[in-house]
Amino acid sequence: MAANAFDVGDYVVYPKHGVGRVIELQNEEIAGMQLELYVLRFEKERMTLRVPTNKVEAIGMRKLSSDKTLKEAMDTLKGKPKVKRTMWSRRAQEYEAKINSGEIVLIAEVTRDLFRPEDQPEQSYSERQIFEAASSRLARELAAMEKTDEPTALAKILDVLKEHAPQYYNNGDEE
């Protein structure tokens, strides 16, 4: 049996749900087989999940990003938003897939691409929903890494976006 990749108390990223914490290691007998399980707690969703230790890789569960990856994600926020001209339903699916990949840099891309400065036209309800899902997911990982809370981390993300986005939306017509 391989040594456990995660210890009780570790923050982990579960691709479909974002940042959770290992609260317990359990051994259960299921259908006559001994199974070792991580018990994960997702505070935001008030949800507990049991993940068999042998399924961790298949699911893509991982430790929090490295500082290098986090920096790459934060730098991604500063980049030029990529707006594809494909149908919204297609783009929405792509955004959802990026969010559910659990990859922090891809989540940062979605956050950047769907961010709208205050002086821009309103977003559709579904754009706003996906933006909030992505920025919240990014904020939770940032918060866990910087040992702060989600609102603080989200404010930091929005500050980066507000600082860098206007240059991409401004067509030289200063007020």
Q: What percent of the chain has pLDDT over 70?
A: 94
Tokens of 30: 């299921």
Distances (CA, A) of 97 to 60, 107, 109, 132: 14, 9, 12, 15
C-alpha distances in Å from residue 62, one per residue of 41, 104, 113, 128: 15, 11, 25, 27
Say if residue 31's pLDDT is above 70.
yes
End-to-end CA distance of the chain: 65
139: closest CA among 127, 117, 157?
157
Note the pLDDT of residue 172: 44
Confidence of residue 4 (pLDDT cuts 50, 70, 90): low
Quickly count helices (H) and strands (E) in the chain.
7, 5
Mean pLDDT of 25-30: 92
Q: What is the pLDDT of residues 75-115, one digit of tens each?
A: 999 999 998 888 999 999 999 999 999 999 999 999 999 99
Tell me: pLDDT of 3 over 70.
Answer: no
Question: Mean of the pLDDT values across residues 154-169?
Answer: 91
Query: In the predicted model, is pLDDT for residue 170 greater than 80?
Result: no
The phi and psi torsions of 106 (rounded to 5 degrees) equal: -65, -40
Query: What's residue 173's pLDDT?
Result: 42
Phi-psi region of 142 (alpha: psi -120 to 50; beta: other; left: phi over 0): alpha
Q: Which of 160, 157, 165, 15 is nearest to 98 (CA)?
A: 15
**Using 50, 70 and 90 to split pLDDT, how confident is the model at 2?**
very low
pLDDT, averaged across the chain: 91
pLDDT at 174 over 80: no
Q: Answer yes or no: is pLDDT of 1 > 70.
A: no
Name the more confident of 121 and 75: 75
Measured CA angle at 30 (ends 26, 31), to 5 deg: 165
Q: State residue 175's pLDDT score.
A: 37
pTM of the model: 0.88
